Amino acid sequence: MSTTTVPAPVKERVLRGIAIAADQQVQPLGHGHYEVAGTHGWTYEVNLDVFSDDPHETCGCPDYRRHKRTGTVCKHITAATIYRAKSRTASRRTRLPKLSPDVVAASLDRMGA
Ligand SMILES: [Zn+2]
C-alpha cells in the first residue's frame, strides 16, 4: 500500500505557520511584504513576491536560509501565505454590495418583475 504522507518537519512548519497566522502575528507592509513575529521575540520580513511572473517567496530567518536549497518554506512564509489568503477572503466579503430589501424591491419594480 502506498500512501502520500507529509514529512514531519514540513507538517510541523505548516502547523506553526497556521498558529502564527491565527494569533495575528503577521503585519502587512504592502507590496507582498509582511513582517512576521517568530519565536523568541524576533520578527522576520517575508516577501511573498506576489507581483512576479515566477513567484519565489523569501524570508529573512535562519530556518529559511538553511532550507532554501530544498525548496522548503519556513513557518513565517506559511503564516504570511495564510494571512494573505484570509485577508483576501475578508476583503471580498466586505466588497459585496449591501442592498436593503427596499432597494431590491425598487430595482425589481423598475425591471417590471
Ligand atoms: Zn522564516
Q: Is residue 3 part of a domain?
A: no
Q: Which of 32-36, 81-85, 99-103 has the lowest mean pLDDT?
A: 99-103
Place 40 in a pLDDT band, splitting at 50, 70 and 90.
confident
Does residue 41 have a pLDDT over 90?
Answer: no
CA dihedral 36, 59, 49, 6 (to 10 degrees): -90
Please state, as a whole number, how many other Cβ atoms lie within 10 Å of the Cβ of residue 107.
11
Q: Is residue 18 part of a domain?
A: yes
- The pTM for the full model equals 0.67
Q: What distance in angstroms lies between residue 100's CA and the mean position of ligand 1's atoms?
A: 45
Contact 60, 45 (CB under 8 A): yes
- The number of folded domains in the chain is 1
Inter-helix orientation angle 8-22/75-95, to 10°:
40
Provide the 3-class DSSP secondary structure of residue 26.
Answer: strand
Q: What distance in angstroms lies between residue 30's CA and the mean position of ligand 1's atoms?
A: 18
Q: Is residue 2 part of a domain?
A: no
Does residue 68 have a pLDDT over 80?
Answer: no
